[in-house]
Amino acid sequence: MESTDRTSAQSSADAELHRRLVYGDESALAEAYTAYGGLVRRVAVRVTRSPAAAEDVAQEVYAHLWSRPYAFDPSRGSLRTWLSMLAHRRAVDWLRGEARHRKDARADDSALHAIPDAGPGPDEMVVDRERSLLLHSALAELPQPQREVVHLAYFAGRTYRQAAAELGIPEGTAKTRLRTALRTLAASLADSADPPDPALERGA
């Protein structure tokens, strides 16, 4: 009962924040950034593996929220989940852009190897980002109900019980969606030498 009341209160708060954003209240944007900016950056860092890119993604996400607040529908889910999924989509777009850039710059590979060794080598960084692109592209292809549970469990640190309360669905449904999503991701990545991120498995 307590979690249901908390979810209801959050839904009302999201609806009020959304109303203020639609009317151009800049303080509402500041509140949304204070509440969820850390989450947005965490999502972006997990996908891009780049703090600098994560900052750019966060700016894009909040610019989108400010310019198109009507894109968020509080009756269909929480602002936390919506921002998390938007951050994920923008971060995957960033990874794809990086992949295209690497492809175009492949002829200049000798210059890449001239970079002094400081932490992971350039090749390792490329492989790491390609793994991330594979995983998160597969995640982006999941049906929205499954993506919502994965985002809450993987990015927002929720248990499946907490995710169920936040989404207003039975706990068994949340658990089933999470397990189904993980099986789908594993199947999608079966052709890759790398399994899904272990952090996703911990979310189950």
Q: Which amino acid is present at 180?
A: T
The answer on pLDDT for 195 being more than 50 is: no
Whole-number pLDDT of residue 117: 45
Tell me which residue of 36, 19, 38 sits closest to 28, measured CA to CA. 19
CA atoms of 135 and 187, how far apart (whole Å): 11
Q: Distance between CA atoms of 38 and 41, rounded to whole angstroms? A: 5
What's the average model confidence in pLDDT over 129-154? 80
For residue 180, give the CATH number of its domain: 1.10.10.10
Number of structural domains the chain divides into:
1
In a domain, 101, yes or no: yes
Is the pLDDT assigned to residue 101 strictly greater than 60? yes
Q: By the 8 A CB rule, do 48 and 129 touch?
A: yes
Give the pLDDT confidence score for residue 3 in this predicted structure. Answer: 55
Q: Is residue 161 in some structural domain?
A: yes
* CA–CA distance, 60 with 78 (Å, rounded to integer): 19
Per cent of the chain over pLDDT 70 is: 74
Question: pTM for the full model?
Answer: 0.65
Domain that holds residue 139: 2-106+123-203
